[in-house]
Amino acid sequence: MSLNTGQSLTVSGQDLTKNGSSSSRAPWEDARTVLKPSTPTRKPKPPKPENAITIAVSARVLFTMEKEQQIYEQQGMEDYIKYQVEHETEPFSPGPAFSFVKALEAVNAQLRELYPESEELFDVVLMTNNHANVGLRLINTINHHQLFIERFCMTGGNSPIGYLKAYHANLYLSADPIKVREALEEGIAAATMFTPEKMTEVSETQLRVAFDGDAVLFSDESERIYKAHGLDKFFEHEKAHENKPLDHGPLKCFLEALGKLQKKFYAKGQRMDCPIRTYLVTARSAASSGTRALKTLRSWGLEIDEALFLAGAPKGPMLEKIRPHIFFDDQMFHVEGAAEMGTVACHVPYGIAQRVTKRGIWDKETSSAPK
């Protein structure tokens, strides 16, 4: 490659003139500066937990560990650990949270380009009650899939929930509904994640997160009215209280965290090209009860990119069109319907619906296996 005499290139806002530069450095030294690789040769440092948006994921949702789970349940812990050690060079295949985590990393890459010194980034922590002897296989798997996960919490059979606040977790995803309920009781946004038989392809450059409204972003106040008095009373209640914001639900804080990062892109003129997109997918009717939901979000200073009011229609077809990386709902009926159509769906076990509906086949509280 040759550079013409007097050719000017710009590096980090500075003009460098070749073969006529007043710099005391040799021309090839300047060329090395200009042509240095755009991809860093070393992984970036993880942000400080107090500055990051921390997503805690269990090993069983990040990776597929069904065979290992069966060994644990049928043969016990010792055989389970022995098998993991013997196969520690064999990486696990991706689980339902894998695409979500990859999307978080894609957003981080764009944030680092816009704000090189900022630590307001996503940080993923692997939270598992696996024994530390399994750690090497997990590390090998993370490196195999080129994931950027530096923080681990391996509790050797004890519940990892007590560590979530120490890690400043903004969201906890697990395959164990008991652990999820424990996290919610600690005031941490949490959901039980399920693996659909088929998984819809999702965007590799834009993180898409879909939320139900009542008992997820909002409290279950209105849902209680509906369960106790029926649909007509529900509509009357919402009309009478449309200017009174709903109380917050368990995942409001996660939507706030997403909104905080979205605004960083908006500040750089990237509202329409923002790599984070949020959706409200609710069974509410727009004209009859949608006003209160939207006014509540506005009163919180939060925006939702798209709002879909379905008036009781199934959510699965709409989610198939949206193709979110993750969808949160408090009712297993909607979680199952979404999963049947390929959406990675999460159950938020919060509110009145948990006490009046029959448990779905996934909502079992009997497993104590490593998560």
Query: Is the same domain home to 60 and 124?
Result: yes
353 pLDDT above the threshold of 80: no
For position 42, what pLDDT does the model report? Answer: 60
Query: Which residue carries 């090189």 as its tokens?
Result: 116
In this structure, the number of other CB atoms found within 10 A of the CB of residue 317 comes to: 13
Alpha carbon distance 368, 232 (integer Å): 43
**DSSP assignment letter at 32:** H
Query: Is the same domain home to 217 and 107?
Result: no
Percent of the chain whose predicted confidence (pLDDT) is above 90 = 63
- What is the pLDDT averaged over residues 169-197? 95
pLDDT band at 239 (very low <50, low <70, confident <90, very high): confident
Residue 358 located in a structural domain: no
Residue 37 located in a structural domain: no
Query: Is the same domain home to 225 and 159?
Result: no
Query: Is the same domain home to 229 and 165?
Result: no
Domain limits at 341?
207-353
Alpha carbon distance 298, 43 (integer Å): 38
18 pLDDT above the threshold of 70: no
For position 351, what pLDDT does the model report? Answer: 86
For position 2, what pLDDT does the model report? Answer: 33
26 pLDDT above the threshold of 60: no
Residue 38 located in a structural domain: no
Mean pLDDT (the chain, rounded): 84
Residue 285 located in a structural domain: yes
Query: Is the same domain home to 233 and 130?
Result: no
For position 105, what pLDDT does the model report? Answer: 97
Residue 324 located in a structural domain: yes
Lowest mean pLDDT among 228-237, 292-301, 354-363: 354-363
Query: Is the same domain home to 148 and 94?
Result: yes
Residue 6 located in a structural domain: no
Residue 362 located in a structural domain: no
Query: Is the same domain home to 229 and 106?
Result: no
Query: Is the pTM higher than 0.75?
Result: yes
CATH number at residue 76: 3.40.50.1000
Number of domains in the chain: 2
Query: Is the same domain home to 180 and 228?
Result: no
Q: Higher-confidence residue: 370 or 119?
A: 119
Q: Which residues are catalytic?
A: 212
Written as one string, the DSSP assignment of 192-241 is EE---SS-----SSSEEEEE-TBTTTB-SHHHHHHHHH-HHHHHHHHHHT
Burial of 353 (0-12, 13-18, 19+ CB in 10 A): buried
Q: Higher-confidence residue: 69 or 209?
A: 209
Alpha carbon distance 225, 148 (integer Å): 45
Write the pLDDT tens digit of every residue in 277-294: 999 999 998 888 889 999
Residue 212's nearest CA partner among 278, 256, 259 is 278
Query: Is the same domain home to 223 and 322?
Result: yes
For position 156, what pLDDT does the model report? Answer: 84
Backbone region of residue 12 per phi and psi (left: phi > 0; alpha: psi in -120 to 50; beta: other values): left
